[in-house]
Structure 1
Amino acid sequence: MAAAEAILRFLVLLLSFFGTLALAGIGLAVIFGIMGIINFAHGEFIMIGAYSTSIAYGAGLPLAGAILVGGLSTGLFGLVVERLLIRHMYDRLIDTLVATWGLSLILIQVVQIQFGGSFGSIPIPFGTFQYGSFSASMYKIALGLTALGLFAATYAVFTRTSYGLQARAAMQNKEMARSLGVDTGRIYMLTFVFGSVLSGIAGGLFAPLTVLTPTMGSGYIVEAFVTVIVGGTNVLVGTFGAALSLGLIQTPASQLFGTLGGRVALLVTTILIIRVLPEGISGVVARD
């Protein structure tokens, strides 16, 4: 019984950490992997998704519908940002870093002025799971399973649609894709919107688990960047592998040393992986 509880505790905690890392990183990974742009306002995109979800939920929508609204709202905002800002800075990495960092500061202040220091919360659904003396939130388990579903949906988009084919072509060789008739500007616009939608959905999924504040994005930005850096440029294989690998490190460290110890282990592992595998996990897969 004790052994079964220990195994179950480990698996549930692993699923929770995997879900958090995967959801926090997948939107950033899509934009970086296809466009080569690092969105420093990624945490604020998650925040927009969470706030939009809370507003929709308060208006009477069920949680699933409210999360969808959060994703679509963030995608619409991403479209505006791409048209007004990002498209003028393609192939200018440093400029996009500075511009999106400035955007993140503006968004924090705008939300602070509009909604104040905190916003309405969403109750955690589904109750708890009990096995012996071990109990866990069913929603955290659902979070990990939802991350798997989101990866499957993203895989389908990139492998079963004409957009996905053109996006992969633009990622591998932009000039060759353009010479073959691919409108890379349109593909980049759709990619930024798609990544924004994923970030907004992640924010909506995180909303019941956290206090909604203008700076809440900073609580997920470390996980997002760590996952993307460790994963490498491959959007799906790299992000999935990084979230799973880092989750396997963070889970026992958190059980032994607490939440802070788990985060320290996460960062130390990231440094070691970058040192040994500079191209990330997806670089190893590509060589094999």
Structure 2
Amino acid sequence: MDYFATVLISSLSSASILLIATLGLAVVFGLMGVINLAHGEFIMMGAYSALTATQLGIPFILAIPVAVLVTMVFGALVEIIIIRRLYGRLFDTMLATWGLSLALYQGAVLIFGSVSPGIGMPQINFNVGDYTLAAYPIFMILVAAVMLAGIYALLTRTVYGMKARAAIQVPDMARAIGIDSARTNTLTFAIGCGLAGFAGAILLPIVPATPSMGFAFVIKAFLTVVIAGPVTLAGSALAAIGVGTGASVVASFMTSVAGDLFFFILTVVLLRLYPLGVSAKWRIKL
């Protein structure tokens, strides 16, 4: 029972890490209809920003908002220069962000090299019977819950959230009542990129900063959003917890390869059963 409990807690932690890495993509796709294939590189940018800040003597807890600010500013520039001209052209947007991801990856290799030093995980542990678990990965469960609640409140309980949804759903009417759709869309894309930067920074003690670190997240994050369907925020939470936890449990009892195989097989099965996503018939729309 102790071993089963540790597996369950660790698996929930892994699912929470997947959710943290997915939320930025879910916000951008859910509100803007933009599939950002450079999402993994924004995670990488956040990790390198936090790492650079700590190397300059800034405490890690303060390096996280620095990473968020850097990725938000860069994301705003990307929306203004590239994405703004491609709304309604899904394939062109995917192609443009894919090219951006390649450029950011090569830029990271040139600037930082292929290997970077980590910052180390806080040495805080707790016991479950005869087994010991590191506290920091388990802390990600709380981080994911707070992120999810905060994003939901931002999009449903604030004036910005109302404007953001209106600017995408009915842009002509939004402009008619005085909403600056262009500025709102820029802010929304920047927030999505900032969430990716936050993920890279908060996960830095677990996943060291490397130019290719985004690849470890972006495929599963993208599939999670696809499984989620039209209710991207709540659907992504359900998909990440369900599929991510299941894959982690399989990996614990077998191998990591078996866990990944389970993730992709379950994704195919769910998309076969729910072609429009698991949330296609939900009443809630966020």
Instruction: Bin the TM-score by the shorter chain.
Output: over 0.9
2:203 is paired with a residue whose SS is: helix
Q: Counterpart in 1 of 2:218? A: 221
After TM superposition, the score normalised by the length of structure 2 is: 0.94
2:44 aligned partner: 47
Q: Aligned residue for 2:277? A: 280
Residue 127 (structure 1) shift: 2.1
Contact 2:6–2:128 (CA under 8 A) maintained in structure 1: no
Report how far residue 69 of structure 1 moved. 1.0
* Counterpart secondary structure, 1:136: strand
8 Å CA contact 1:33–1:171 kept in 2: the answer is: no
Q: CA deviation at 1:122?
A: 1.1
Corresponding residue for residue 164 of structure 1: 161
Name the CA distance, whole Å, in 1 between partners of 2:93 and 2:175: 22
Is 1:81 paired with 2:78?
yes
CA contact (8 A) 2:231 2:282 kept: no
More deviation in 15-24 or 263-272?
Answer: 15-24
Shift of 1:246: 1.0
Taking the aligned partners of 1:27 and 1:92, their CA distance within structure 2 comes to: 20
The Cα of 1:287 is off from its aligned counterpart by: 8.2
Partners of 1:9 and 1:134 within 8 A in 2: yes
How many positions carry a matched residue from both structures?
Answer: 285
Per-residue CA deviation, residues 228-280 of structure 1 (Å, 9 max, x unaligned), is 11112323211111111113321321122221111111111111111111221
- Which residue number in structure 1 is paired with residue 236 of structure 2? 239
Per-residue deviation, 1:126: 4.5
Is 1:123 matched up with 2:90?
no
**Structure 1 residues 45, 88: closer, same or farther in 2, change over 3 A?**
same
| Per-residue Cα deviation, 1:196-228 (whole angstroms, up to 9, x for no partner) | 110000001221112321111111112211211
- What secondary structure does 1:8 align onto? helix
Q: Is the 8 A contact 2:30 2:233 kept in 1?
A: no
Letter in 1 for 2:127: Q
Structure 1 residue 268 and structure 2 residue 271: aligned? no
Q: Which residue of 1 aligns with 2:199?
A: 202
Segment of structure 1 superposing worse, 113-122 or 247-256: 247-256
Following TM superposition, by how much is the alpha carbon of 1:131 offset from its aligned partner in structure 2, in angstroms? 2.3
Q: Which runs of 5+ in 2 are unaligned?
A: none
SS of structure 2 residue aligned to 1:222: helix
Distance 1:50 1:287 in 2: 34
State yes or no: 1:134 paired with 2:126: no
Q: Within 2, Cα distance between the matches of 1:179 and 1:275?
A: 41
Equivalent position amino acid for 2:78 in 1: V
Between 1:120-129 and 1:193-202, the stretch displaced more is 120-129
Q: Does 1:31 align with 2:15?
A: no
Q: Which residue of 1 aligns with 2:147?
A: 150
Structure with the higher fraction of residues in helix conformation: 1
For residue 250 of structure 1, the aligned residue among 235, 242, 247 is: 247
CA shift digits 1:2-41 (9 cap, x unpaired): x2x1342133123212212101110011001111111111
Length-normalised TM-score, structure 1: 0.93
